[in-house]
Amino acid sequence: MGTTRQDRPQEGRRGTAERRRRELLEAAERVVLRDGPGASMNAIAAEAGITKPILYRHFGDKGGLYRALAVRHTDALVDSLRTALDEPTDRRERVEAALDTYLAAIEARPQVYRFLMHPAEESGGERGFDVGQHSAPLLRRLGEELATVIAERVDAGSAAEERARVWGHGIVGMMHAAGDWWLGERPCPREQLVGHLADLLWGALATADDREGGPGF
């Protein structure tokens, strides 16, 4: 059945609402890039040229805005990771490309990363929210996406689905923890960190010799 005349205004309103929501998210990103984790709903509303109640009408509260930004950035990151893992190179090069893609993303927009992973308590009467409540689903989604990629491309033997999910979530946890530490301290260049993490995934810990005089590991 074709679209009726009655359906068209509704579709137009939906398109307008989606466009407006996208514009508000772009305004929120500009504030986050400027203010980092402490970006407030007041500042975002001012950047968008609206009042805070209108911003709440679109997202509910800061948690709703956070989730919308998280979905926006997770979608882009997942697409980039899949592209890296689909490159026609050997497995280690593809894994290194995926690690570098994640680290390059947080390095390029550290304020956005910190807003998503380390949101600050709000000042001026706005209530803060629990970072774990919001960041954990983001990391879980990345873990499930990577598990799917592993299951599609690697013969993991018996209990393959279970192993792919363990590996996917384990690798995401490693990337997140190592990337968070690296972004704060910058102890080495990004390409060097990528190499170290790839070495760990390739069993360097299992094949490394114990230090002389130590208890072993």
Give the model confidence (pLDDT) of 118-159 as tens digits. 865 444 445 455 555 667 788 898 899 889 988 888 887 888
Q: Which two tokens stand for residue 55?
A: 């911003």
What's residue 124's pLDDT?
Answer: 42
Q: Which two tokens stand for residue 19?
A: 């466009």
Phi and psi at residue 196, in whole multiples of 5°? -65, -45
Task: Calculate mean pLDDT across residues 29-57.
Answer: 91
Half-sphere exposure of 29 (CA within 13 A, CB side): 13
| pTM of the complete model | 0.79
DSSP state letter for 119: P
Out of 102-111, 118-127, 204-213, pick the least confident.
118-127
CATH number at 62-203: 1.10.357.10
Half-sphere exposure of 82 (CA within 13 A, CB side): 13
What's residue 130's pLDDT?
Answer: 56
What's residue 62's pLDDT?
Answer: 82
What's residue 170's pLDDT?
Answer: 95
Residue 191 · residue 97 · CB < 8 Å:
no
Task: Calculate mean pLDDT across residues 70-91.
Answer: 88
What's residue 123's pLDDT?
Answer: 41
Rounded distance, CA 59 to CA 51, Å? 13
Out of 91-95, 104-108, 135-139, pick the least confident.
135-139
Q: How confident is the model at residue 166 (pLDDT cuts 50, 70, 90)?
A: very high
Task: Calculate mean pLDDT across residues 100-105.
Answer: 96
- Looking up tokens 């689903």 gives 137
Rounded distance, CA 153 to CA 132, Å? 31
Of the candidates 27, 197, 61, 204, the residue with the CA atom closest to the CA atom of residue 134: 61
What's residue 125's pLDDT?
Answer: 41
- Residue type at 177? A
For residue 120, what are the contacts with CB-CB under 8 A and spacing of at least 6?
Answer: 36, 37, 38, 128
Task: Calculate mean pLDDT across residues 34-62.
Answer: 90
Could you count the other beta carbons within 10 Å of the beta carbon of residue 197?
22
Rounded distance, CA 21 to CA 79, Å? 22
What's residue 8's pLDDT?
Answer: 61
Helix (H) or strand (E) holding 148: helix 131-153
What's residue 122's pLDDT?
Answer: 45
What's residue 121's pLDDT?
Answer: 46
Residue 127 · residue 41 · CB < 8 Å:
no
